[in-house]
């Protein structure tokens, strides 16, 4: 069955080529297609395109389909092209001509659009719910290991003292900014395109604000041409937000691979979290972090893939857009898995204490010595030259370190500002207002 089919069948080769993997990808959209239809038919009844009796019958049948989807009892039949066709076929088989009325005042174009928006909105919430526990773990570890000093590097050369408190806290704050960009993507996604039809609106007296409210959207895409042009843009914006999270995870993973290396020797993990070698009995490989790094680097390429697939497209719908689903949809599962695996690893990390007591790290404290001379009244440049000469002629001795310097500035080793970072994260998470969406969808399914 095809919603567009009239009296002539497509050549089998054409059908196979054009459908591609769309049937598999449409299973991601199944429950959202039903939600969109539930809102659409309620609106159709309100403007006189369905009777109240027809509405009740359609609502009951759609909710049965929704329950089948939720219980994994829903499948696309072999001769059905997509999720939209399957739902309409089931309604028609069950209700006869009433089922055929469901497509009034919409096109498969805006049906796909609203499905995508609902799917992306749901996946963004799932990402937030996965990031938050990982953020909390990073903060917990930051406090736990705030006294464990760590060499800081620039250009991969010894630079200044850092700490594992700073290291964990840095990635926690990075996630705050990542969720800020995800929040921006959410704003783009949380607008209703339903009613734009094929991209040029409808001559029926439809009520687009009503479907917007029923589906819990914050607003709607007002201009119907732009609503259709939003296909591709929404996916790209979301992919960029995912890429930001992926970049945080990839860098964290690279750090862990280095720190586990015997030449660094900063951290270790229980044997069951590492892998071995088929030939070298001593090996404990950081395969989890290596795979997180690779998965995340692929996700970082995703916005560019989407950009290139939509390059040079004029306004209106084009079949090129079909491919965006198979590139973007699996990325949500991948990024969630990566976050959860990083959390598993960092929950079980073992950190070597007293790292900086090793003689090879003595030059980390040159800046501290310069600053001591400055505090005694020396001009900074003179103090810098004095310490530099001492390093070159071998007379340099690292200064005696105080446990906690007076008035440490915000965000430094002795003043991590974890509570301030936590407040920022809580503020960002609250701004999504997922509860409003939940309430709207619960009412739609009553």
Domain spanning 12-103: which CATH class is it, in words? Answer: mainly alpha
Nearest partner of 317 among 220, 225, 191, judged by Cα: 225
Cβ atoms < 10 Å from Cβ of 63: 15
**Maximum CA pair distance of the chain?**
94
User: Does pLDDT of 276 surpass 50?
Assistant: yes
User: Does pLDDT of 6 surpass 60?
Assistant: no
Query: Which band of pLDDT confidence, cut at 50, 70 and 90, is reported for residue 281?
Result: confident
Domain spanning 116-196+222-357+414-445: which CATH class is it, in words? Answer: mainly alpha
Tell me how far apart the alpha carbons of residues 264 and 147 are, in angstroms, rounded to a whole number.
19
Give yes or no for a contact between 256 and 286, defined as CB atoms under 8 angstroms apart.
yes
Query: Which band of pLDDT confidence, cut at 50, 70 and 90, is reported for residue 143?
Result: very high
* pLDDT tens per residue across span 66-105: 999 999 999 999 888 889 999 999 999 999 999 999 999 9
Which residues have a Cβ under 8 Å from the Cβ of 348 and sit 6 or more positions away? 269, 270, 273
Query: Which band of pLDDT confidence, cut at 50, 70 and 90, is reported for residue 15?
Result: low
Which residues have a Cβ under 8 Å from the Cβ of 151 and sit 6 or more positions away? 158, 159, 161, 162, 355, 356, 361, 364
Q: What is the pLDDT of residue 279?
A: 82
Q: What is the pLDDT of residue 403?
A: 66
Q: What is the pLDDT of residue 4?
A: 44
Say whether 275 sits in a helix, a strand or coil. Answer: strand
Tell me how far apart the alpha carbons of residues 153 and 370 are, in angstroms, rounded to a whole number.
18
7, HSE (Cβ side, Cα atoms, 13 Å)? 0
Q: What is the pLDDT of residue 8?
A: 58
Give yes or no for a contact between 178 and 245, defined as CB atoms under 8 angstroms apart.
yes
Residue 245's Cβ-count burial label (10 Å; 0-12, 13-18, 19+) is: buried
Q: Which residue has the higher pLDDT, 13 or 62?
A: 62
* pLDDT tens per residue across span 188-226: 999 999 999 999 999 999 999 999 999 999 999 999 999
Q: How far is CA 381 from CA 171, 366, 385, 391, 393, in A?
A: 33, 13, 6, 15, 18
* pLDDT tens per residue across span 396-431: 999 887 667 778 889 999 999 999 999 999 999 999
Tell me the mean pLDDT in the region 312-327: 85
Query: Which band of pLDDT confidence, cut at 50, 70 and 90, is reported for residue 20?
Result: low
Domain boundaries, the chain: 12-103, 116-196+222-357+414-445, 359-393
* pLDDT tens per residue across span 93-137: 999 999 999 999 999 999 999 999 999 999 999 999 999 999 999
* pLDDT tens per residue across span 244-254: 999 999 999 99
- DSSP string for 186-238: HHHHSEE-TT-TTTT--SS---HHHHHHHTT-SEE--SHHHHHHHHHHHHHHH
Residue 416's Cβ-count burial label (10 Å; 0-12, 13-18, 19+) is: buried
Q: Average pLDDT, whole number, for the chain?
A: 93
Q: What does the radius of gyration of the chain's CA atoms come to, in whole angstroms?
A: 29
User: Does pLDDT of 369 surpass 90?
Assistant: yes
CA 163 and chain centroid, separation = 28
Q: What is the pLDDT of residue 17?
A: 67
What is the value of pTM for the model shown? 0.92
Tell me the mean pLDDT in the region 28-54: 97
Q: What is the pLDDT of residue 19?
A: 62
User: Does pLDDT of 176 surpass 50?
Assistant: yes
């Amino acid at each position: 069955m095809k919603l567009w089919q009239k009296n002539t069948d497509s050549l089998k080769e054409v059908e196979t080529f054009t459908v591609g993997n769309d049937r598999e990808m449409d299973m991601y959209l199944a429950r959202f297609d039903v939600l969109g239809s539930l809102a659409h038919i309620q609106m159709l009844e309100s403007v006189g395109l369905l009777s109240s009796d027809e509405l009740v019958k359609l609502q009951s049948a759609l909710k049965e389909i929704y329950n089948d989807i939720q219980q994994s009892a829903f499948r696309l039949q072999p001769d059905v092209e997509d999720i939209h066709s399957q739902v309409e076929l089931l309604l028609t088989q069950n209700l006869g001509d009433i089922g055929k009325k469901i497509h009034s005042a919409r096109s498969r174009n805006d049906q796909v659009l609203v499905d995508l928006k609902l799917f992306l909105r749901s996946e963004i919430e799932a990402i937030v719910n996965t990031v938050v526990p990982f953020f909390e773990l990073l903060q917990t570890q930051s406090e736990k290991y705030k006294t464990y000093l760590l060499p800081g590097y620039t250009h991969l050369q010894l630079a200044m003292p850092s700490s594992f408190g700073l290291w964990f806290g840095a990635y926690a704050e990075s996630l705050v900014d990542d969720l800020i960009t995800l929040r921006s993507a959410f704003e783009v996604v949380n607008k209703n395109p339903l009613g734009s039809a094929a991209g040029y609106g409808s001559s029926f007296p439809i009520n687009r604000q009503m479907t917007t409210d029923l589906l819990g959207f914050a607003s709607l895409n007002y201009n119907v041409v732009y609503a259709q042009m939003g296909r591709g843009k929404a996916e790209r914006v979301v992919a960029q937000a995912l890429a930001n999270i992926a970049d945080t995870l990839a860098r964290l993973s690279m750090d862990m691979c280095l720190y586990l290396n015997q030449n660094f020797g900063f951290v270790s993990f229980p044997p069951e979290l590492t892998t071995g070698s088929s030939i070298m009995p001593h090996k404990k490989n950081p395969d989890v972090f290596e795979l997180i790094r690779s998965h995340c680097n692929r996700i970082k390429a995703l916005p560019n893939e989407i950009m290139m697939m939509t390059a040079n497209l004029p306004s209106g719908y084009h079949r090129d857009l079909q491919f965006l689903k198979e590139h973007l949809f699996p990325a949500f599962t991948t990024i969630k898995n990566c976050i959860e695996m990083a959390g598993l690893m960092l929950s079980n990390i073992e950190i070597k204490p007293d790292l900086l007591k090793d003689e090879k790290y003595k030059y980390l404290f040159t800046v501290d010595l310069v600053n001591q001379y400055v505090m005694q009244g020396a001009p900074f440049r003179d103090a810098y030259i004095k310490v530099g000469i001492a390093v070159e002629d071998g007379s340099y001795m690292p200064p005696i370190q105080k446990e906690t310097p007076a008035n440490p500035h915000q965000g430094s080793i002795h003043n991590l500002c974890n509570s301030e970072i936590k407040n920022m994260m809580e503020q960002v998470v609250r701004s999504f207002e997922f509860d409003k969406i939940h309430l709207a969808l619960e009412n739609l399914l009553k």
